[in-house]
Each structure stands twice: as structure tokens, then as C-alpha cells.
Chains A and B, each alone.
Chain A
Amino acid sequence: MGRQSAVTTLEKAKARSKPSHAILVIGFGFVLLTAALVLSISFGAANISVGTIWDAITAFNPTLTEHQIIYDIRIPRALGAALVGSFLAVSGAIMQGMTRNPLGEPSIMGVMDGAALAIAIMFAFSASISGTSLMVAAFIGAGAGAAFVFFIGSFARGGLTPAKLALAGVTVGAFLSAISSGIAIHFNVAQDISFWFAGGLAGMSWSNLQMIVPVAIGGLTLAIILSRSVTVLSLGEDVAKGLGQRILLIKTLGVIVVLLLTGAGVAVAGAIGFIGLVIPHITRGLVGVDYRYIIPCSAVLGALLLVLADLAARIINAPFETPVGAMTALIGVPFFLYLARRDGRKL
């Protein structure tokens, strides 16, 4: 494709994006997110009034149990949910854009199962695990899982169709989780690992947050820097070449961002699926096809969805917690079905 027609394609795509909507989404998204965070902090085994929350933040009194609950448990949990939600949504957006695959997302592409296997190994082989080493293991595992799926995909005859990528992802996932289960059963840590796989924000602490905040800053910044290139890639490699993009560099950086964000998310919150699938699609519906808008909006909406899902997971079957990963799957599956039916002919 020549440069001129590539530029035309890009212009057409830009014409189909809606920057004013993006501003609205981010504005309203932040308002809703704040409300959701307050709800999430006030609701729990002990319901706490908004006034008390305000007091705990402005005038923290360590002798009050309620202030302690808010400060030590509720706030880190709510903030953790918001961060992890934004990580997964942005990962999904980048994966879908780069692979031009509507079904791209971390939980069905081997990324999560890889990270989960690495964590299972850590659980089985070391008695005391530090948060940092868990996170490093999760990154390595996520990278290995993703590499596995893409390796299979790139050697497939007839190219990497969305259906093939989904099948390869599911199969690699089954393979990796079979090994995880074997480890879990052999070392008798099945329930520990299952609780953890199921996705849980219950264990979120300030030290967990401290670990993922740098990732958030680095990963999300890099994602926003890459966003223009992702838009170009999402229009096809011909267009990208026509515009003189360095495709290999962009893809490498994109993969690094995905691994950083997913690895960090899995390491602190377990395997939470389908946010990475659902949010980018909804965002695309709202703000159009330009990833400069999709990525920041996905971050806000992903945060909102996970905070709400985590809240729902606590309410539905109180005082027990429903695994948040199951919650997001139950929200995400109807959406997946819708996509599979809509794009059925193309797939």
C-alpha cells in the first residue's frame, strides 16, 4: 500500500473516532469510579458510613477499629481493584489492536494460565514467598504462556485466524493448567491455589499496592505513548508499512506492556478473565476506533468494572465471598457469545 492511500485510510479511521465522547467517558467514568470506590470502601462485613470514611482519610485515628478497617483493608482493596481492572482492560485493548483479533484478551491467550502456572510452582516449592518473587514469577510465566500461543499461531497453516488463535489459546491454557493441577495435587496445595486462581482482591495490602504502582505508571504511560501506533497497526500491516511504522519495534513494546500489566495484575489478584475482552469492545463502541482514546477510556472503565465486580462478589453471597474471577466470567461470557455470533461469518 502506498503512502498516500495509507494516509487516507488513517484519516478515514480518525474521522470515525469521537474525541468529545472520549472526554465525556473519562469525565463521567471518573465520577462513577469515585462513587464505586466509596461504595466499595463503605460496604463489607461491617458497613461503614461515608462520614466515617471521610474522617478516616482526613483525621486518621489508629485507636478506632473502623478507621483501621478502612485504612488497612478497604482502601487498599478498592484501589487495588481499580488498578488491576485498568491493567487488564488496557492489556486487552492493546492485544486486540495489535492482533486485529476481536477475541484477543489475556485470559484466553495463554498469558494468564502461564502466570498461574508460575505461581503454582512458587507455591509448591517455596515455603515462604515474598510478593516480589511472586510478581517476577508471574511476569515470566505470562511471557512464556503468550510466547507459546503466538509461536503456535505463527506456524499455523493459512495464518492466524481469530478462531485459530482462540483455540490455540484455550489449548495452551488447558495444557498449562493441567500441569498446574498436577503440581497442586502432588504438593497438596490445591485449595490455596484455587482460591488464588479464582481471582481475589481480599488479600490486597498496601505493600501489594506499592509493588504495582510503579508498574501502573510505567505500563500505562508506555501504553498511551504507543496508542497512536496501535491505531495504525489495527488498520493492518499494509497501512502501517505505508506510514513508515517500525512494526517490529511497536509490536515488541506492545507485548512488553501487555506482559507487565497482566503479570502484575495476576500476581496480586489472581486470574481475572474477560475484563480485557469486554471493556475494549464497549469503549470502541463509545469513542470510535482511535486507540489514543480507547486506551485511556479502557483504563477508566476497566477500573470501574472491577471495583463493581469486586463489590458484587462480596454482596451476592455475604458473608462469603464469591470469586471475582467467576463474577467477571459470568459478565463476560454473554458478551463473548454476542461477538462470536456477530463476527461468526468472518471468523
Chain B
Amino acid sequence: MNALIKKPAFKIVTLILLILLTFIVSLQTGAIQIQPVDVLRTLVGLGSERDALILFEFRLPRMVIALLVGAALAVSGAILQSISQNELADPGILGINTGAGLAVVIFIYFFQGSLTGVSQLSIFIMPLFAFIGAAFAAFLIYIFAWKKGITPVRLILVGIAVNAAFSALLIVIQLRMAPNDFMQATIWLTGSIWGSTWSYVVTILPWLLILVPLAIYKARTLNVMQVGTESAISLGVSMEKERRFLLILAVALAAISVAVAGGIAFLGLVAPHIARKLVGPQHQIMIPTATLVGAFILLAADMIGRNVLAPSEIPVGIVIAIIGAPYFLYLLMRTP
């Protein structure tokens, strides 16, 4: 029995079961409770119209988005932690989220009026803007942290600075918005998957289907990176090129998440850690595990956010920060 529990396969199966269980519970709970029997009936097409509307148009797309975004952030964090050789790296702390957020808010501010609400077009353009913003932030961080190479500490400090500058610009733009837009922007910036629709899913799913397998494909390179630069060079990996490629990969994943779910901090940090504890540091297995952990955490956090203060909702980003920050501090205290 003990040997079985220690097997990675067992842990992965357990994770999948946990996700399924949370998924089922999450389908039933919310501002309107739906009985398990009715959920089943609705899923096979025999439920009431009201239940079908709630499940298919509101709850399911939102839960699928939670799973996808959780997975994307987890992979992004795992890559960042390996290439910076710093286990405290995370797209949120590094300012990549804020960069994407700033770009999207600029987009909303200038174009929202002309597009009347979140139109079909803006759903497809927003991820693009988010990517540009995130890439710009990553570029700035890379440039400023570069001084005969990149040290992990400098990377993080520069990330903190870029984050602060972008936040300052954000608040300048935000305060010029109409109160209604402002509230939306605030909720969105703290990270929320409220109002997700199937078009969001359709927009990001193809990207994730390319990027996540790509990260797993690069697992061996990531393994080498984590060992350290010098041994990596001696192993014949052309470090800077690989590092840049992986950085772009991580930024793209973070940007996609921010575009549909706003600035969710700490998930990209926590999920790879938990995965590493579960299955060890080998990226071939760690990255797939991290995607599951990330998906599970975000799904569960969204369920919590929907129910704790019901009928009003707590954006999922806040739930993650309240849970994730203490975990981060615990990690910080343990790191020598």
C-alpha cells in the first residue's frame, strides 16, 4: 500500500479524481443551488430550461476557464522558476501580470466605448493586447536585470520595480474611468473568471493545446537549466537562446491567462511547488502534475469565492492571494 501511494501515477490519478469531485460539487453550488439529481438530468438533456441555462451558459464555461487558466499559470510559473533558478519566481511577482493587465486596461479605456461592451471582436483582441503588455514587461525586466548575466535576486528586485511602475500607470488610467467601468476593471485586475463564456474557451484552448505540450517537450532542457548555468553550458545547451525561447513560452502562457482571467497572483508560484513535492523535480512528470495542481486549485478557489460571501462574489484572484501569500511566506522563511 505504502509503495503504491508513493508512485507518481497514483498521485496523478488521485489529483484527477479530486478535480472531478470538485467539478461535480462546483456544478451544484453557487448563488442558486441545483440538486445533484437535477444536475445529472440537465447534463443528459432532461433538465429544466432554467437549470440548463445556469449550467451550460454560466457555470460550465466558467469552470472550464478555471481549469485552463490554472493549468496555464502553473506551467508558466514552472518554466520561470527553472530558467531563473529561483523557486520564488512567479508571473505575478515579476510584473508580467501587471504588464498584461495594463495593456488590457488601456485597450478597454480607449476602445470599450466604441465596441459597446465586451464584444466578440474584443474577446479575440484582448489576449493579443495582454500578450504585448506581458512581453513588454518581460522585456523590460530582462534588460534591466542584465548586467554581465542575470542573477536571480536582481531578476526579482527588477520585477518588483517594473510591477510598481506599471501599477502606478494602471491607477492613473483607472481613475479616469467611469465608476462602472472602474468597478469592472478592478474586479478583472484582481483576477476574476466571472462572466466567462464559451467564446473565451474557444479563444484560448488552441493556444494552450500548443504551448503546454511544447513546455513538456522542453522538459529535458528545463531539467538542465535548473541545475545551473555552468553545467548547462558544459552539457552543450545553447543557454541564452533556450532561455529566451522558454521565457517567451512562459510569458505567452501568463498573458493568455491574464487576458481571460485577470491578474491572478501566486498560483504560478504555488502549483509547481506542490507538484515538485508530489512527484519530484523532473520536468517530464512535474509539468503535467503542475497543470493538474493548478487547475484543481483555481477550480476550488473559484468555488470558494462564489460561496463564502454569497450572494456577493469574491474574485478568484483574491481567494488565491489570501491562500497563496501565506504559503509563499512559508517558502520564503524556509529558503536559506
Contact = CB atoms under 8 A, between A and B. Distances in A.
A330 B168 contact: yes
Given A164-B332, A171-B332, A340 B158 contact: yes
Interface string A304-347: 00000000000000001011011101101100110011001101
Given A152-B333, A198-B175, A341-B144, A167 B265 contact: no
B101 interface: no
Given A163-B157, A190-B182, A323 B187 contact: no
Contact of A175 (B158, B160, B317, B325): B325
A347 B332 contact: no
A195 interface: yes
A186 B157 contact: no
Interface of A: 103, 108, 152, 155-158, 163-164, 166-168, 170-172, 174-175, 178-179, 181-182, 184-186, 188, 190-191, 194-195, 197-198, 273-274, 320, 322-323, 325-327, 329-330, 332-333, 336-337, 340-341, 344-345, 347
Q: Majority SS of interface residues in chain A?
A: helix
Interface in B288-336: 309, 312, 314-315, 317-318, 321-322, 325-326, 328-329, 332-336
Given A157-B336, A326-B169, A336-B161, A172 B144 contact: no
A83 B10 CA distance: 63
8 contacts: A166-B157, A171-B325, A178-B325, A182-B318, A191-B186, A326-B168, A333-B164, A333-B165
Contacts of B165: 329-330, 333
A178 to B, nearest CB: 4
Interface residues of B, number: 50
A119 B145 CA distance: 36
A347 B144 CA distance: 15
Contacts, number: 147
A175 B326 contact: yes
A100 B179 CA distance: 43
Contacts of A195: 175
A179 B322 contact: yes
Contact of A337 (B151, B158, B175, B309): B158
A181 B78 CA distance: 28
A266 to B, nearest CB: 16
Interface string B170-183: 01101110010011
A188 to B, nearest CB: 8
Contacts of B93: 167, 170-171
A152 B318 contact: no
Contacts of A182: 314-315, 318, 322
B175 A166 contact: no
A194 B177 CA distance: 12
